Chain A
Amino acid sequence: MFYTTRPGFFLAPPSECTWTRSPMSQLQSLNLHQTSEPLLDVQEMQFWLDKAVAWGQADSPDTQKDSCLHFRRLIEFLQQLLTHINNMSSTTESMKRMPFLGQFLGRLCWNSCIIADDTSRRLLFQCLWGLYSEQPGNAVERKANQWIRKVLCQLATEVDDVAVQELNKSMGLPPEEYHLKVLRKMVALLQENVGMSCNFSGNTNERCSCDSILATSEACVPLVSCPEAAPLIGALLQRPATCVRAHLSEDFLDALSSAYSSQGLSLEEPAIVSLWYHSLSSLEEAMLSLLESVLADTGSPLQKLEERIAQSVLPKACAQHCSIFLVASDIFRSVLKQTEGNESVKSLIQIFTSCFLREMAALQPQKCISLKAFFPQSPQRLLVPLLTLPSEMPQKAWRHHLNWLSSSLQRLAEEEDSSSSTRGNHKVFEAWFLLVQCSQWMQVTLQLLVMSVPEDCGPLLWLLTFYHHPTNRGHNKALQLTRAREALDHLLSLFSVLAGPLPFDRLQSLVTLLSSQPQQPSPSSLLILNLLVGFAVFFQQSLNKSTEILQTVVDQSGLVDEAACVLRSLELRLNEGSCLSGDANRVHLRIEALQNTLTHMHAGRSPAVNQARTLTHSIAGEST
C-alpha cells in the first residue's frame, strides 16, 4: 500500500515508533508518559487510529462513505489534537507522548475525503505546522521537519497517473489546470445525472435514476465549500423530491448547514432557498441573522429595511415553499411573545409579510398554492380581509372595512374572555398575530381616527387598543380603552388650540401619561404615542404648532426614537398608497418636516443596538 512506499513517513525515530509496533502498544506507551496534564482519551485515539488505517485513501465507496459518516466527529477530534499539540513544549515532547501522531496525520493527509474538505484540511495542516520546529534541536525534530515538507510537497505536486501526466506534458496542460478541468467535467457529468428525471415504476427490483442521489450527496460532504462543486450541490438540493429513492444524505445537509453558518458556501440563490427547504437549522440561522441585522439597526429608513429584507431572499423562499413560511411564522411568533410585542419586531414582521405577499403575487399562477395553506392557524374569516392591501380597496370602503374588522375581533376577544380556555387564548393570539403581519391597516386606522375624531371613533379606537393590548393578562383591556379615550380627548383639545401659547398643564399631563415607565415604553404609552404622532401628522393644525407639541412631549418623555419609528412606518405606508389620496402630498411634507425636527433633537441615542443583540441571542438560545 501507498504509505509503506512513502519515504520519511516515520515521524519518530525507529526506537520510538515503527510500523512493526502495533498501534495499541504505542498507546500503552502514551499511558506510561501520562502526567498531571489532561491527555487525549486513549480509547478515542485508538478508535481514530483504527479508522485511519481502515480508510486508507478512501478510494472505495465503502471507505469513502464511512469517512464521510465520521466527518463531524473527526473534525472535533482534530481540534482537540491540535490544542494538545500546541500545548506541548516541543515536537520532541509531542513525539514522546504521542508516537503514533505522524502515522495518524500522514494517513489522514492521503485520505481523499478528509484532505478535500476545507475544515479538516485546515486542521490537518495546522497540526503539521504545530509539529514543525523553527529551530530544530535534535534529530527527531529535524526528521519531523523534513517529513512535513515532504508530505506537503507530495500532496501538492505528485501526479498518480504517469500516463496522464505524460500526455498533459505533451499537450502543454499544466497539472493545476488539468485537475480543475477534470473536476469541472466530473461536476458537469454528475449534475447531468442528478438532473435526469425519475423513472421509478414502483417495482423495488428495478433501477431508478434516483438511486445515485444518496451516494452523490454523500460524496459531496467534503466538497460543500468547494466552489467548483457548487453547481452539483445546487442540482442535488433543487432536485424535486418526487421519488422515494431520491433521499439526500443527512450528513450532506449537516455539512451544508455548518458551512452555511460559517459563511463557507458559494451557492446560487435558488440553491440556498432549497437548502433552507431541506435544512431547518440553516433556515433558522438565516432568520436569526435577518432578525439580528434588522433589530440592531433602528435608525434606517424603513425602505432600507424593506430592501434588506427582500435581499435576504427569505420572503421569496417563503412564497416558493409553504413550509419555509410556516417556520418563519413560528420564529416570528416566538420572538413576538418573548419581546412582548416590541415595535421593531412588529414592523419587521409587517414588512416581511408584505414582501412575502409581493413575491406570492409575482409567482406564476400554476406554482401558487392557496394562501390558506400559509396561514393555517389564522382565523379564516379574517384572512382575506386582512391580507387585502389598503391600496387594493376603494378608499371610501376603508372605514367600513375597519369597523367590520374591529367588531369581528371584538367578538373573538369576548369569546376568549368568557371561555378563558387556552384554546381561546390561542385563537386571539393568532388573530392578533395576523393583525401584526398586516399592520398597514393600523396606520390607516390611525389616520381615519384622527381625521374623524370626535365622531364615531369607537370601533377604530378599540382596534388600535387591541393592537397594543391584545390580552387581558396585565393589560386589562377595558381600563386601557378608557385611558385611550381619555388620551384621545386630551390630544384633541391640545391640538385644537388655535392661537396663543400652548397650555402648559395639558402638555405636562400628556408627558406624565407617556412616561409611565422609565425603563421601556409600555404598550399603553406606545398607544398614546401613536395617537400623538397621528395627531401631529394628520390633524388639521398648523405644522408649526403640531411640531411644537410633538417636540415638547417626546423630548420630555424621552420617546424621541419611538416617535421617529412611528413616523417612519407612517411614511412607508404613505409610499404604498395606504393614505387618503387627497391628503398624500400634505401628509408627506408634514412627515418629512416632523422627521427633521426629531433628527435634530436626537442627541444621545438609546442603546437599542445592544438591546437587539441580546434579544436575538436569547431567541437563538431558545430555538436550539
Chain B
Amino acid sequence: MERHMEAVLKNLTSSVELLAAAAQSGVVEQWDKQTLSRAFRWARYCEHLVSRFHNNPAMVRVMEKQLQFTNQSLRAAFCGYSDVSFSDLSRCQHLLLVGLLNNPKLPISLMKMLFDTTSPVNTNNSEYQDVTGFCSHIIQSKFACKVLRPLTHSSLVGADAEVQGMMLMVRLAALLSQGSEVCRTEHFLDSVLQGCEGEPQHFCLVITAALLTPKNSSAETASQDFLLNWLEKKNSVLQTMCSALPTTLLMELAKKHVKFRDAYVDLLKKWASDMEYSIDDGVWVQNNSTPTVSFQKLTEHFLTLFEACPSQRDNVKNELIALKISDGDFDVSGLSVWGDLLSVLNR
C-alpha cells in the first residue's frame, strides 16, 4: 500500500513538472505526436486521481503536501510559475492545453494536429487516445452551444445552469455518501459560493437547477435537503434567489420543497416588517435592506405563493391577520403594513 502511495506521489510530481515544462520551457520544441499523446495521458491520469481520491481527506492532504513541495521547486525553476492545487488537477488536460498553446515553442506541426478538422470525434477512452483534433472538437461543442443558446428559452434556468446544478448534485451526493462531516460538505458549498462572488444571480440559478433536479433516489433527496439546510443559514443567498428569480421558478421551488416554501414565507414577512410608510409618497418602502423590494413586488410574491401552494393561503392570511391585530387592528391605510397587505391580497 505504502509503495503504491509512493508511486502515486511520484507520478503526481512528474505530471505537475510536465505541466510546467509544457507551458514554460523550450523542451516542447523537441516534442512529437507521441510525446504529446503521452503528455495528455498523464494529464488524464491526474484527473483520474482527483475523481478517485477527492472524497478521501487523508489522501487529499498527502497529495496537497506533495504538490506544495513540487510547486516550491518549480517556482524556483521557472519564473512566473503559478502553483497547481489539488482541485486544479481535475482540469489537468485543460491546463496542459492552455500551457502548450501559449508556449511559442510549441511546434506548428503539433498545433496543426491539435486543430485538425478531419478526424472523427474521439469517443473511446482507450489508453492510447489520439489527441488529433482535440481542440477542433472543443471549438465545435463550444460554438455549437452558442449557436443553440438563443433557442433554448424553454429552460428557465438555462442549459448552463442545469448542467452545473446537476454537477453540484453529483458532488454533494458523493460527499454525503462518504459520510463526510457536515462541515466539510458545507465548506464545499461555501467555496462554490465564493467562486461565484461576482455573479450571485448565476449561482442562484445553479442552486435552483439543483433543487429542481428530479428526485430519483434517496441520495438526491438527501443532497437537496442538505442544500436547503445550508440555504436557510445563508440568508443573503436566499434573499438574492427570491428577489432575482423569475416567479415561475419560485413557484416550482415552493411547490416542490416545503422547507423552501417556509423559508420563502418567512423572508416575505421579514421584507414586510422592514417596510416603513413614506408619508411624502404615500407608499410602503424598504429602507435599509438590499436588494430592495417594492410593496407591489411584495404583494406579487404573496400571490405567487398562494397560487403555487393554495393550501397555504389561509394559514398565511391568518398569520397576517394576527400581525395586523398586534399592530392595533386599525382599518386605515398607512398604519400597519400587514393591514395594507391584507387589503390588497383580499381584493
A interface vs B, CB < 8 Å?
57-61, 64, 112-113, 115-116, 118, 121-122, 125, 129, 132, 134, 146, 149, 152-153, 155-157, 161-164, 166-176, 178-183, 185-187, 189-190, 192-193, 212, 215-216, 219, 222-223, 226-229
Contacts and interface: CB of A to CB of B under 8 A. Distances in A.
Nearest to B201: A163
B152 interface: yes
Interface in B115-172: 115, 117-118, 121, 135-152, 154-155, 159-160, 162-164, 166-168, 171
Contacts of B167: 168, 171, 173, 181
Contacts of B164: 164, 167-168, 171, 173
B338 interface: no
Given A122-B117, A167-B202, A169-B87, A180 B141 contact: yes
Contact of A186 (B136, B140, B145): B145
Interface centre among B118, B140, B202, by most chain A C-beta atoms within 10 angstroms, is: B140
A222 B163 contact: no
Interface centre among B102, B111, B159, B168, by most chain A C-beta atoms within 10 angstroms, is: B159
Contact of B136 (A61, A121, A164, A187): A121
Contacts of B168: 171
Given A57-B146, A59-B150, 17 more contacts: A112-B143, A115-B139, A118-B117, A118-B140, A156-B101, A157-B97, A162-B198, A171-B192, A172-B87, A173-B91, A174-B47, A174-B92, A176-B138, A186-B151, A219-B147, A222-B144, A226-B144
Q: Is the interface of B mostly helix, strand, loop or mixed?
A: helix
B104 A146 contact: yes
B257 interface: no
The 7 A-B residue pairs with the shortest CB-CB distance, nearest first, are: A163-B199, A172-B90, A153-B101, A166-B195, A122-B117, A116-B143, A112-B146
B102 A113 contact: no
Contacts of A169: 87-88, 91, 195
Contacts of A156: 97, 101, 114-115, 135, 138-139
A183 B145 contact: yes
Nearest to B90: A172
A186 B159 contact: yes
Interface of B: 47, 50-51, 54, 87-88, 90-94, 97-98, 101-102, 104, 108, 111-112, 114-115, 117-118, 121, 135-152, 154-155, 159-160, 162-164, 166-168, 171, 188, 191-192, 194-196, 198-199, 202-203, 206
Contact of A193 (B90, B154, B166): B154
Contact of A116 (B91, B102, B140, B188): B140
A163 B91 contact: no
B117 A121 contact: yes
Given A121-B140, A180-B141, A189 B87 contact: no
Given A173-B90, A183-B141, A167 B108 contact: no
B206 A228 contact: no
Contact of A113 (B147, B188, B192): B147
A174 B147 contact: no
B267 to A, nearest CB: 24
A121 B90 CA distance: 29
A112 B140 CA distance: 9
A163 B102 contact: no
Contacts of B51: 172
Contacts of B136: 121, 125
B191 A170 contact: yes
A468 B177 CA distance: 78
A190 B152 contact: yes
A163 B198 contact: yes
Contacts of A57: 146
Contact of A228 (B141, B163, B191, B203): B141
A121 B139 contact: yes
Contacts of A178: 163
Contacts of A122: 117-118
A193 B159 CA distance: 14
B143 A115 contact: yes
Contact of A185 (B112, B137, B159): B159
A171 B188 CA distance: 9
B140 A172 contact: no
A116 B104 contact: no
A434 B175 CA distance: 70
B146 A59 contact: yes
Contacts of A173: 90-91, 164, 167
Nearest to A109: B139
Contacts of A193: 154
B115 A125 contact: yes
A153 B102 contact: yes
Contact of B115 (A152, A190, A192, A216): A152
A471 B240 CA distance: 85
A245 to B, nearest CB: 16
Contact of B50 (A113, A132, A157, A172): A172
B185 to A, nearest CB: 13
A215 B160 CA distance: 21
B196 A189 contact: no
Contacts of B92: 174
B160 A182 contact: yes
A116 B146 contact: yes
B91 A172 contact: yes
A189 B159 contact: yes
A182 B90 contact: no
Nearest to A212: B151
27 contacts: A57-B146, A59-B150, A116-B139, A118-B117, A149-B101, A152-B111, A153-B102, A156-B101, A157-B97, A163-B202, A167-B202, A169-B87, A169-B195, A170-B87, A172-B51, A172-B90, A174-B90, A181-B166, A182-B159, A189-B154, A189-B155, A190-B152, A193-B154, A219-B147, A219-B150, A223-B147, A229-B144
A293 B341 CA distance: 79
A152 B112 CA distance: 10
Given A64-B147, A64-B150, A170-B195, A175 B159 contact: no
Contact of A149 (B104, B144, B152): B104
A107 B254 CA distance: 46
Contacts of A118: 117, 140
